[in-house]
Amino acid sequence: KSLVLLTGDIHGLFPDSRGGGFVPLEPAIRSELGDCQRCGLCSARRNIVFGVGDPRSSLMVIGEGPGASEDREGKPFVGRAGQMLDKMLLHVLGLERSEVYILNVVKCRPPKNRNPLPEEVEACRPFLESQLQAVQPKLMLVLGGVAFKALFQTPQGITRARGTWRSYAGIPALPTFHPAYLLRNPAEDVVVDVPRRVQLGARRSNGAQAPPPPQP
């Protein structure tokens, strides 16, 4: 039932549907973050990986933490998983990466790509929440079990949670598989995780032709 309400509400909202009324907080958050030393991840990182994309987008995409390529370039999802993410966005939602806002639960690379520790997630959470406030997305796409568990502080795995609506700080959030998992398991289908009406809404405002009416 709530799925129908949510998909009804967010139908047609992607991207830039809020008429440019975003809060330009991003520079302030970056400067507050500074040369962050708030957790142990600072000692091995090369770059803080803040976030990229359109800060006015209605869609925020959230991963777990930077890998080696991201740490080197200072941008999220620029390695192989990033290329897969671009495909997911394009093929499932009809969106280019520049049309969404992409960030991670932690902004510094965990050594050897281990999962971020709870205290690292907590040290970074205020910045994530400030970014959320600044961007004010209408929907969050949560990539993979690590990000999902970190955000929702739940032991539930992504295989059960995928495609089921949650709410994070009052924002509808949809967990789905991480693109790195999809690289290893190409048979998995993430299209089924994203309600058809969300997909149609995305495509319509992406400049494509108006889609046929949503299926019941």
Give residue number: closest CB to ligand URA. Answer: 63
Min separation Cβ 11 and ligand URA, Å: 28
Pick 81 or 132: Cβ nearer ligand URA: 81
149 token code pair: 């568990």
| Residue 91: CB minimum distance to ligand URA, A | 19
Instruction: Give the separation between CA 121 and CA 163, rounded to whole angstroms.
Output: 23
- For ligand URA, the closer of residues 70 and 193 by Cβ is 70
Binding residues for ligand URA (CB under 6 A): 63-67, 70, 76-77, 81, 104
Residue 53 C-beta: closest distance to ligand URA, Å: 12
Question: Is the CB of 66 or the CB of 94 nearer to ligand URA?
Answer: 66
Contact present, 105 and 65 (Cβ < 8 Å) = yes
Q: Which is nearer to ligand URA, 116 or 195 (CB)?
A: 116
3-class secondary structure per residue, 190-212: CHHHCCHHHHHHHHHCCCCCCCC
Q: To which residue do tokens 């803080």 refer?
A: 48
Quick one: 63 or 195, whose CB is closer to ligand URA?
63
The CB-of-143 to ligand URA minimum distance in angstroms stands at 6
Cβ distance to ligand URA smaller for residue 2 or 98: 98
Residues 6+ apart with CB under 8 A from 74: 46, 47, 48, 49, 50
Nearest distance from C-beta of residue 132 to ligand URA, angstroms: 17
Residue 78 C-beta: closest distance to ligand URA, Å: 7
CA distances from 213 to 14, 17, 92, 200 (A): 17, 20, 17, 9
